[in-house]
Structure formats: C-alpha cells, structure tokens
Amino acid sequence: MADEVLFEFLHSELVSYVLTNSEKDKTHGDLSTLEYIGFSTGYRIIERLTKEWPRFKDELDTMKFICTDFWSSINKKQIDNLRTNHQGVYVLQDNAFRFLTRLSAGRQYLEMAPKVVIDNC
C-alpha cells in the first residue's frame, strides 16, 4: 500500500528530473524519456493485471478495459468520454485528470494509456 501522495511526489520528481536532463542536453521539452518510463511501467503493470483474464475480444474491448477498470483504479474515476472513428483512432477524455488537478505538469500518463492499448493487442 503506497499512499497516493507518495506517488504524486515521485511523479513530480520524475518530471522534474526528465526536464532538467532535457535542458542539459539542449533538447528543450523532450519528453520521450518520460514517455519511455511511462511505457515500461504501463507494459509491466498491464501484463500483471490481465494475466488471469480472458483475452480481450477486440480493440474496442481493450479500450473499454482501459477506460473503465484500469482508469478508475488509478485515477479514482472512470474516464469521462471515449470516442472512436472505428478505424483505430480513440479519443480519451477525462475532465478532471488526477495529475493535472494538483499541478499542470503531468503529461506522462496521458501518454501511458495509448501505450497500454498496444501492449494488449
């Protein structure tokens, strides 16, 4: 049981570390490291969470899993709106994103969700 405050602090440390580094390397605003950290976290956690589950029927089923089960356990709420054009494009909308309600600098997990989809496919 890691308290959620702790995770928020860790996350902001992470963001500040990545930003300091990208400034040092003169690649301003390069968030690919942050994205990669999110990716490897997402990859592992989904693998652990879904190992006992039946296979997802299709892409949409996977997406629904992300938006309902996964999102609500992490963000304390279900995603507000999921839209698709049925050609593989999904738009996830959350009106009170947990990491942004406290501060406006957490971009990592917006990126994490799409990654998670790919892990599952």
Partner 1 sequence: MSGSNLALKLVPRIGEQNAKHTIDVKMSRQGTRLDSKKVNSELFTLTYGALVSQLLKDYENVDDVNKQLERMGYNIGIRLIEDFLARTSSGRCYDFRDTADKIQMGFRLFLGVTPSITNWSPAGDEFSLQFETNPLTEFVELPDHCLNLKYANVLTGVIRGACEMVQMDVTSWFVQDQLKGDNVTELRIKFIKRLEDAIPAGED
Positions in the binding site for partner 1 (CB under 8 A): 1-7, 9-11, 13-14, 16-17, 21, 32-33, 35-41, 44-45, 48-49, 60, 63-64, 67-70, 72-74, 76, 78-79, 81-86, 89-91, 110-111, 114-115, 118
CA 80/CA 26 separation, integer angstroms = 37
Neighbours of 12 (CB within 10 A): 15
Nearest to 37 by CA among 9, 11, 71, 1: 11
Nearest to 30 by CA among 39, 40, 17: 17
Q: How far is the CB of 23 from partner 1 (least distance, A)?
A: 14
Q: How far is the CB of 105 from partner 1 (least distance, A)?
A: 15
Nearer to partner 1, 28 or 83 (CB): 83
